[in-house]
A and B are shown apart, each in its own frame.
Chain A
Amino acid sequence: MESLRGKTAIIGAADSDVGVVPHMSATQLCVDAALKAMDDAGITKDEIDGIVSCDSWAEPFLYHAEAISEYLQIEPKYCISVGTGGGTTFSLLHHAASAIATGICDTVLITMADSLRSGISKEKAMKTQASTGHPQFESPYGPSVPSLYALIARAHMAEFGTTAEQLAAVSVTARKHAHLNPAAQMRELITVEDVVNSRMIADPLHLYDCSLISDGGSAVILTSREKAKNYSKQPVYLLGVGEGHRHEHISQAQSLTTSAAVDSGKRAYEMAGLGPNDIDFAELYDCFTPTVLIELEDLGFCEKGEGGAFVESGAVDLGGLLPINTHGGLLSHCHPGNPGSMFALTEAVVQLRNEAGRRQVNDAEVALVHGQGGIMSSHTTLILGKEV
């Protein structure tokens, strides 16, 4: 089969305001991000013939992408929304790139948002949370979302001797980077002690091991390599993409400490013809601190079991071997639920355009961006570059 390598490029990328944005609905945040991404690309709506989105919790539609197309009065040839939690965003980018490469459409607007902080009542949020897990075989035991990731953290600690302080270091790094990002929701510097002394949510995870709850929207515009040359911004090419899916429910996972990021990473590296040593920076899904350790290991940036030591060494800080989550990640930039990974993608675009200001990664040429959804269930890895 023909490879997607370098067939498509991102020509526009933008975020809405994020954090606490009470003056906009989830749909408005989605459209706001879309309009900003269109401005960024310098594209008119007539040039967009694909719309991709994911549903919001705060303002759900049965057919979300159709609703957004209708709102924008765009009549696309390709229109789809998908829901695989945090894995949705890059899964959708994979779909969109395939649609362009196979000629279904030329230029796709990928836009998504939610309003989990301002647009949803506490009761509704709790009710949605209470439905986490398999309805018959997990949910009766009262697992919260953090607790399901705590199961992974505990397993990693038991198997490899990972410490609470090493998990905390993930959060400290995210905050360090958010401190340099004026758009981030949480910018005040924190220490390892602050994290391990914060309220215990689900042992071994403390409050500061958990990501934020936010409002926000984010959008990118993807087109063919040929068409990308017609727009003013430095195109960011999709060099590799791969997915991996091994379970939905954590109690069914074959391994608690090795994830399908191994599969998605391998597929993305193979397509790009690159390996972990070629990556200048990475944006890794950090809904809770343990996911980052497992992703660093599974994507080949360090040996299995050494994620904690790798983070503790400062390797993932700006100026380190592999800066990660340069915008502050879900832990400190913002986390409006399913759209969360989109901000990692727009950040990668900003970095590759050399527009990241004080948090700019030096000589950023190739980025790896990884999203996961469910409870380490659905994984997609993207490799992006300035050159094909």
Chain B
Amino acid sequence: MEHAGKNFPEPTIETEAYWDGCRNRELLIQQCNQCGKSQFYPRMMCTNCMSRNVHWVKATGKGKVKTYTIIHRAISKAYAKEAPYVVAIIELYEGPSLMSNIVGCHPRDVNVGQEVEVTFQDWSEEITIPMFTPIERD
């Protein structure tokens, strides 16, 4: 029950494919069949051309840190044991941005512009959360 009390997402009819993807260790985003634009979070239409003809694609899972913060005062008890933890906005190579945690490094080592890739954290049998970690360069 390592993650008990955290803010578990509740998948909806619109988002369950995304959360199924996470469970299978795939980061899914949507792409428009009409204009080709990629988007996140999932929607029933393309935010660019309003076409309803959007489909799921597997993202590279790679992107860069647009901004981040190191949270010292956790939002609730369940998160206190993670503090200090990093919340960041990541711009995926495909274009869309999303919020996530940066894990697998010291918070001090996170930078704006840093390249990161997705990693998955299992919170329960149903819920797996995508997080990001710095891409190691040789």
Contact = CB atoms under 8 A, between A and B. Distances in A.
Contact of A140 (B40, B41, B71, B129): B129
Contacts, number: 117
Interface stretch (B4-12, B30-38, B49-57): B4-12
B45 to A, nearest CB: 15
Interface stretch (A30-38, A83-91, A150-158, A348-356): A150-158
Interface string B3-25: 00011111110010000000000
Interface residues of B, number: 39
B69 interface: yes
A72 interface: no
Contacts of A204: 69
Interface string B52-78: 000000000000001111111111100
Interface stretch (A53-61, A124-132, A333-341): A124-132
B9 A139 contact: yes
A143 B89 contact: no
Given A132-B75, A133-B99, A141-B99, A250 B89 contact: yes
B6 A142 contact: yes
B112 interface: yes
B120 interface: no
A150 B85 CA distance: 13
Contacts of B133: none
Given A136-B41, A142-B82, A158 B112 contact: yes
Contacts of B66: 155, 256
Contacts of B84: 203
Interface string A199-214: 1111111000000000
Interface in A302-321: none
B73 A155 contact: no
Nearest to B102: A141
A252 interface: yes
Contacts of B85: 142
A251 interface: yes
Interface in A79-98: none
Given A143-B99, A202-B69, A256 B7 contact: no
Contacts of B123: 140
Interface in B115-138: 123, 129, 131
Contact of B70 (A141, A152, A202): A202
B44 interface: no
B7 A251 contact: no
A207 to B, nearest CB: 9
A357 interface: no
Contact of B69 (A129, A151, A249, A252): A151
B107 to A, nearest CB: 8
Given A126-B76, A151-B69, A251-B97, A142 B87 contact: yes
A138 interface: yes
Contacts of A141: 87, 99-101, 129, 131
A367 B88 CA distance: 37
A191 interface: no
B40 to A, nearest CB: 8
- Residue among B67, B69, B112 with most chain A CB within 10 A: B69
Contacts of B89: 151, 250-251, 256
A213 to B, nearest CB: 13
Interface string A98-125: 0000000000000000000000000000
A151 B67 contact: yes
A203 B8 contact: no
7 contacts: A134-B41, A136-B9, A139-B7, A142-B76, A144-B75, A154-B68, A250-B99
Interface of A: 126, 129-144, 146-147, 150-155, 158, 199-205, 249-252, 256
